[in-house]
Amino acid sequence: MITDIALAQAGHLCPRCGSAYGTTRGVEVGHVFKLGAVYSSKMQALFLDRDNAQRPMIMGCYGIGLGRLLSAAVEQNHDDKGIIWPLPIAPYQVHICALDMANEQVAPAAERLYTDLQTAGYEVLYDDRRESAGAKFADADLLGMPLRLTVSPRTLAKNGVELKLRKEKDFSLVAAEAVLEEVKAALARARIRVAPMPASPP
């Protein structure tokens, strides 16, 4: 048999109705398998038909992949720096970046903040590595937790903590005694639904 075969692309005309094809990106988050009688025959899973004859059951299965759902969420929530996790599925709600760990004031302040947030019921990722501020901020953007808190000699000199939502560009300095209230308010803002960012081209 010889025939003309081509990969359908946007703009091609449908041979049946003459309309132009369109394309869009998608993510397969669920699947359905028609199993037929392959397994039911082997397991002797039979039923009586209307003629009282035994026949194997026709089987099928379906499922939703959790890993695929995460992939779909990341595809719709990211920028050129990394992931922007939606709050309900974020691995952690808060990411603490402690800068200049050699400073004798930074580690105790950051650890106290870490403990206070956990006691208040928040899920917290604490970056206590001895890395530069640039490296820590880049990793925080890449990992994409909804809220970043920065403790540094500069913020401590002002008796505060730097607060920044991952989905926003601006940050603010909040008073140390008001951190828990500010975190609650910021995460409430993070819950607000925004239009998804356009997916990157393939």
pLDDT of residue 5: 76
Q: Which CATH number fits domain 82-190: 3.40.50.800, 1.20.120.850, 3.40.50.300, 3.30.1360.120?
A: 3.40.50.800
pLDDT of residue 159: 95
pLDDT of residue 199: 47
Q: pLDDT tens digit string along 126-181?
A: 999 999 999 999 999 999 999 999 999 999 999 999 999 999 999 999 999 999 99
pLDDT of residue 7: 83
In the chain, ranges of CATH 3.40.50.800 domains? 82-190
Residue 199 one-letter amino acid: A
Residue 193 pairs with which residues in a beta bridge? none
Residue 112 one-letter amino acid: R
Q: Which residues of the chain have pLDDT under 70?
A: 1, 192-202
Find all residues with CB under 8 Å of 22, minimum gap 6, and list them.
Answer: 10
Which pTM value belongs to this model? Answer: 0.72
* Secondary structure class of 126 (helix, strand, coil): strand
Classify strands 54-56 and 82-83 as parallel, antiparallel or unpaired.
unpaired
